[in-house]
Amino acid sequence: MGLNTRIECIFFSEFHPTLGPKITYQVPEEYISRELFDTVQVYIITKPELQNKLITVYVI
């Protein structure tokens, strides 16, 4: 990653007990589509063994 890399979106996701995986907050809004989130949510909403660990995801 170069020094000119910019953050394009920040979001918070969680596993809702009745709705399942969901994006709770996102800036800018609608940057990550539901279809894209559905493909990566398994990596974003972690299993118990990865909870409380820092996870960084770079999308190229």
Tokens (6 digits) for 44 = 């974003």
Q: Going residue by residue through the chain, which has 60 residues, state the pLDDT in tens, using 9 for 90 and above.
A: 556 778 899 999 988 889 889 999 999 999 999 999 999 888 777 777 877 888 777 766
d(CA 4, CA 17) in angstroms, rounded, equals: 39
| Residue-level pLDDT at 45 | 79
**Do you know the residue count of the chain?**
60
Q: Enumerate the β-bridge partners of residue 10.
A: 27
- C-alpha 9, offset from chain centre: 10
| Residue-level pLDDT at 3 | 64
| Residue-level pLDDT at 2 | 58
Tokens (6 digits) for 30 = 């609608």
- Identify the sign of the CA torsion 31, 36, 41, 44: negative
SS3 11: strand
| Residue-level pLDDT at 16 | 86
